[in-house]
Structure 1
Amino acid sequence: MKKIGLLALSALMVTSLAGCGSAKDNAKKELKEVTLVLDYVPNTNHTGFYVAQEKGYFKEEGLKVNIIEPGDDSTSAVLVAANKGEFGVSYQEDVTYARTAEEVLPIKAIATIIQHNTSGFVSLKKENIKSPKDFEGKVYAGWQAPSEEAVIKAVMKKANADFKKLTMVGADGSGFAALGKKVDIQWEFEGWAVIKGRMDGYDVNYMPLKDLDKRLDYYTPVIITNEKMLKENPETVQKFMNAVKKGYEYAIDHPEESAKIMKKILPDTDFAFLKESQKYLSAEYRKDAKTWGVMKDEVWDNYTDFMYEYKLIDKKIKASEQYTNEFVK
C-alpha cells in the first residue's frame, strides 16, 4: 500500500485528508492472486465460489481468485499438494487416500461444501430396483474405481445380496440414456444428474447412499488446501474462506439469484434446470449444521473405518489429521 502523507504537511492537513487518502489507497490496493482448482466442470456444487466472485466478496478480502478445472491427467488433490493451486475442491476419500499414502500428499480439508452425501443409485422405475438386494442379475455402469466397488459390495452385503451376481461395466458417458438399454443401475448425484434426468422425462427410482449405510454419509465435496498454506499463509486461507462462506450463505438464502449467477458461468445450460438444482442444493449446503462448512470427527472416522475394512487403505488415520474447522467456525 502506498503511503500518502508528506512530512511537509501539517498535522491538521494530514488529519483532514486521512479519510480521503485511505479510500484512495484501498482502491489502488493490489489484490493477492490465488488459484482454486475445481474437481470437475462448474456446477451447482460450486455456486458459492462464483457468488463470491460475482458479488465481490473475494475482492473485499483483498483476493483475486482464479477458478480453473483440473487437467485430464491430474486431480485437484495432486495439484494442490504440489502447490499448483492454493485451494481445491476434492472429496473426503481423496483426502484420506492422500494422507495414508506411502508418500503422503500434504493436503487437508478446510470445509465441506455439503453436509450430507447427496449421491445414490438410480434406475428406471419399471425395473423395480428398490433395494441393493435387487442388484442381483443386473448391470451396473460406473467409473470402475476400487472405492466404488467397495461401496457396492458393502450395501449389497448389508442387504444379504450376492455381489458376484452383479455385472459391473464402465460408463460410456451417455448418462440416463443408457438406463434400460445397456445398463440397469448408475451412481449419480441427486442435485444434478437425477434432477436433470427427471426433468428430461425419465421415471426413476433413487436410493440415497446415506440411507443404505451411515458410514457412507461422508463429505463430498470438500474444500482443501495444502500444509504449506496452513503453516505459512493462514491469513490468506482465512480471507479466502471468509469470502467463500459468505458466497454459500448467500446461495442458501437466495437460490434463484444464485442460479442466475451460475447461468452466466454455464450459458448453454437450461435455466429451469439450474433453478431446480440450485433450489435443492441451497437446502443441503448447511442442513443439520449450525454453520456452513463445519465437519465432524464422526463422519471422517466412519468413512475411514469403512475404507480400512474394505482394504482401500492399509492404515487408519485420525480425523484431526485430515480436516480442520478452524477457518469456518
Structure 2
Amino acid sequence: MFNKIPQILGLIVVLSSVVVTACNPFVAAKEPDQITVQLSWFHTAEFAGFYVADQKGYYADENLKVSLVAGGPEADPIAAVLDGQAQFGVAAGDALIRARAADQDVVAVSSIFRQSPLVVMTLADSDIQRPQDLVGKTVGVISPNMDTTWDIQFLGMLKKLNIEPSAITFVPIEDYHGANELTSGRMQAASGFFSSNEPVQAQLDGQDITLLFYSDYGIEIYSNAIFTSGSTIREQPDLVERFIRATLKGYQYAIEHPEEIADLALKYDDTLDANLQSATMQAQIPLIDTGDAPIGTMDEEVWQITQDILLEQGIISTSVDLKTVYTNKFVEKAQ
C-alpha cells in the first residue's frame, strides 16, 4: 500500500498540471504558422484544393494560417519564393528546371495535375483531326516568340511527330474566350489551351470542338507543380509536410464534392462565372486523379520529358540532376 503512495502522488501532480494548463487563460496555444502561397494564375477552380483546405479548416487543423495570392501573366512565383515573399508557389515544371539550371534552390513537392491539360483546340467540323493536319493551317499560339511553357510544349509535340514548324502559320491568340478565335475564322486551330479552361467555355457557348491532347503524343510537363525553397525543406520539413497534407486533403474533397467548388472559388473572386467554375472542376478531375497513383504524386518520366524538351530547344545547355528538382516524400507522408 505505502509503496504505491509516490505513484499516486505523481499522478495527482500530472493531472493537476493538465487541469491548470487547460483552465489558465494565460497559457496561450501555439500561434499558427503564417504561410503565403503565390499562385501561378488568377483565382479559378484550378486551385480548388487550396480553397477547400482554407475554407474547411484543413489548414487550421495543421496549425497553419494560409494566404493565397492570385497570380497572372506578370506574376513570378519562383521569384516570390526565393525572395521570401511566399513560402510556397505554383509553377510549371519547365520553369522549375530552368531555375535549377540557374542555381536557384527551388524544389517541387507535389503537382495539382498529374496529366498535362494542354491541348490544340479546333472546331469539330474542321478537317483537323490529328496534329499532322495542322500543316498548311493558321494556328494560334500564346506568344509570338513561342517561348512560353505552353508554346515550347507545342513545339515539342511538332518535333516529336516530325512536323516542320515552317509548314504552319503561327499567329498570337488575342481573344481567350472559348472558341471565338476559331469561329471568327482568324485561325483554324488554337494551341496551348488548358482542356479545363477555354474548351469548357466553348462547350458552354454551344460550340462543338475537337481537342488534341499533347499527352497523347508523349508530351508531358507538370503545368501546376507546388514548390518551395530547398532551405524550407531542410529547415522546416514539418511545415512542408503539414501544408501538403492539408492541401492534398483539400483536393481529395474537391474531387469527391465538385458541386461545392464554384461557391468556394467565388469567395476569392466574386466576378467569376459560377457555371464555368463548376464545369472547370468537373473537367479537371481526371487530370488531378489519374487513378494510377495517389493525387499529387509526380513521375520521374514526366520530369525527364520536360528536361529533354528544354535541351532540344536550347533553353538549357546542360542537364540538371532531376533528384534535386522534385521530391515525393511529402506526398507519401500525406497518405
Relative to the length of structure 1, the TM-score reads 0.87
In structure 1, list runs of 5 or more residues that go unmatched. Answer: 1-9
Preserved contact between residue 113 and residue 222 of structure 2 (Cα < 8 Å): yes
- 1:245 equivalent to 2:248? Answer yes
Which residue number in structure 2 is paired with residue 155 of structure 1? 157
Q: CA deviation at 1:13?
A: 7.0
Q: 2:204 aligns with which of 190, 199, 207?
A: 199
Which residue number in structure 2 is paired with residue 136 of structure 1? 135
CA distance in 2: counterparts of 1:304 and 1:13, whole angstroms? 59
Preserved contact between residue 111 and residue 294 of structure 1 (Cα < 8 Å): yes
Q: Deviations over 1:253-301 (max 9, x none)?
A: 2111233322333433333332222122233312133322111212111
In structure 2, list runs of 5 or more residues that go unmatched. Answer: 1-11
Return closer, same or farther for 1:114/1:153 CA change in 2, 3 Å cut-off. closer
CA distance in 2: counterparts of 1:74 and 1:271, whole angstroms? 25
CA distance in 2: counterparts of 1:262 and 1:256, whole angstroms? 11
Preserved contact between residue 154 and residue 214 of structure 2 (Cα < 8 Å): no
2:125 corresponds to which letter in structure 1? K
Q: Which secondary structure does the structure 1 equivalent of 2:239 belong to?
A: helix
Q: CA deviation at 1:86?
A: 0.3
Which residue number in structure 1 is paired with residue 4 of structure 2? none
Size of the aligned set, in residue pairs, is 315
Q: Which secondary structure does the structure 1 equivalent of 2:281 belong to?
A: helix
Q: Deviations over 1:157-186 (max 9, x none)?
A: 444433112122222144321214222221
Which residue number in structure 2 is paired with residue 54 of structure 1? 55
Q: Which secondary structure does the structure 2 equivalent of 1:109 belong to?
A: strand
Which residue number in structure 1 is paired with residue 125 of structure 2? 126
Identity between Structure 1 and Structure 2 (%): 24
Q: 1:286 aligns with which of 285, 289, 301?
A: 289
Q: CA deviation at 1:125?
A: 2.1
1:288 corresponds to which letter in structure 2? G
- 1:272 equivalent to 2:275? Answer yes
Which residue number in structure 1 is paired with residue 39 of structure 2? 38
Q: CA deviation at 1:226?
A: 0.7
Return closer, same or farther for 1:256/1:149 CA change in 2, 3 Å cut-off. closer
Preserved contact between residue 78 and residue 105 of structure 1 (Cα < 8 Å): no
- 1:11 equivalent to 2:10? Answer no
2:240 corresponds to which letter in structure 1? V
Q: CA RMSD in A?
A: 2.4
Return closer, same or farther for 1:148/1:59 CA change in 2, 3 Å cut-off. closer
1:206 corresponds to which letter in structure 2? L
